[in-house]
Amino acid sequence: MSDATESGPTEASSDVRGAAADAGTAEARTGAAAVDDPILRVEGLHKSFGGITAVDGASFAIDRGVLTGLIGPNGAGKSTTFNLITGFHQPDDGSVYLDGDDITGHRPHEIANRGLVRTFQIARELSEMSVLENMMLAPQRQAGEALWRSVTPGVRGDVRADEAELLDRVWEMLESFDIDHLAEEHAGNLSGGQRKLLELARALMTDPDILLLDEPFAGVNPSLEDRLLDHVHDLRAQGYTFLLVEHDIDLIMNNCERVIVLHQGKILADGTPADIRADERVIDAYLGGDV
């Protein structure tokens, strides 16, 4: 895996992941098992809709700089768990801790502001906006997002300067994902695979600590899948943490260092791919599927 390389001007760009410190510990943690300082911890999450229990006491912890996969049969509660963690649903019971802070039931934007960023299952590119606008939207706490700053004559100049810096980073990111030739297209004109790339690139612009990717490879052709995977591995090496939800079990098994299996809203198994492969219950849950 390549080291965290730089392209373009050096500054607090999201290419350089806060460090050496992370890179060191990331290599130390190659397995699963509870760790002293998980970046994300979920305890006893419960959620019911009407009479149906979607998530039933789920608990797990995600370690920094690790690629974790979340799998489970249809209806296991993966998407709901995602929504509970990211604030799109309120849990009936249980807690979510990000970096030690309790974020249970916080609103989605607050959670995103704290560094936990998610993508969506069906790529939700903002189709009437250009790829560039999509990307420029993403970075957090932009000064120009305050109404008065954008309007007041003198101050607007500062906003423009910020935007110019931001623009540089945006173009770099687009280039690194090889979609810079699409920059001025309406995002709605992109192909499915290109949208997935945009979704990931956009999420990275927010400078996240941990990325929750909801089926990022769904409906993606094999060569594009490889490209996306390469990106993900690169980023992990730079220190990003990933939690992936996927249906493609092979993909998870071959790429993730740790796998969590959900079944009927409960955690069925939690360990390395090897552990999961050997686990009878998982095989049963998938009804004889090839795990």
Partner 1 sequence: MSGASGSDASAGTTIREALDNDAVLVLGLLLAIYVGFYLLGATLGFQSNGIANSLRRVTFLTAVYAMVVLALNLQWGYTGLFNIGVAGFMAVGVYTMAMATAAPDARVPGLGLPLWVGVVLGMLAAALVGLIAALPALRLRADYLAITTIAFSEIIRFTYLSSTFQSFTVAGTQLGTGGGSGIGIAHTPDDVVIALLIENPIGAVLYAPIENLLTGWGIVPNVVRGWVYAVALLVGVLAFYWLLSRIAHSPFGRVLKAIREDEDVAQALGKDTRAFKIKAFMVGCALMGLVGILWQGSLGFVNPNSFLPQVTFFIWIALIIGGAGSNTGSVLGGALFAGLLFEGPRYVANVVDQSFQLGSAPSTIAGGVGPLFAGDPIPLVAYTLANIAPLRLVLVGVVLIVLMHRRPEGLLGHRKETAASIDLGRPTRDGSASAGADSIPVGDRDTGGEGR
- Is 147 a residue that touches partner 1 (CB under 8 A)? yes
Determine contact, residues 273/259, Cβ cutoff 8 Å. yes
Residue 93 CB, shortest distance to partner 1, in Å, is 23
Residue 261 CB, shortest distance to partner 1, in Å, is 25
Phi, psi values for residue 184, rounded to 5°:
-95, 5
> Which region among 28-36, 67-75, 130-138, 248-256 touches partner 1 (by CB under 8 A)?
130-138
Cβ-based neighbours of 217, under 8 Å, separated by 6 or more: 196, 225, 228, 229, 246, 248, 251
Closest CB to partner 1 among residues 169, 258: 169
Among 43, 93, 163, 248, binds partner 1 (CB under 8 A): 163
Residue 119 CB, shortest distance to partner 1, in Å, is 8
Q: How far apart are CA 100 and CA 226, in angstroms?
A: 34
Q: Which amino acid is at 242?
A: F
Residue 291 CB, shortest distance to partner 1, in Å, is 31
- Is 242 a residue that touches partner 1 (CB under 8 A)? no
Residue 212 CB, shortest distance to partner 1, in Å, is 10
> Both tokens of residue 94?
């249980």
Q: Which amino acid is at 3?
A: D
Q: How far apart are CA 240 and CA 242, in angstroms?
A: 7
- Is 171 a residue that touches partner 1 (CB under 8 A)? yes
- The total of other beta-carbon atoms located within 10 Å of residue 219's CB is 12
> Both tokens of residue 104?
């249970």
Phi, psi values for residue 221, rounded to 5°:
-70, 155
94 alpha-carbon distance from chain centroid: 22
- Is 121 a residue that touches partner 1 (CB under 8 A)? no
- Is 155 a residue that touches partner 1 (CB under 8 A)? no
Can you give the binding site for partner 1, defined by CB under 8 A? 2, 5-8, 15, 86-88, 107-110, 112-113, 117-120, 124, 126-130, 132-133, 136-138, 140-147, 149-151, 156-157, 159-160, 163-164, 167-168, 171-172, 175-178, 180-181, 183-184, 186, 202-203, 206, 230
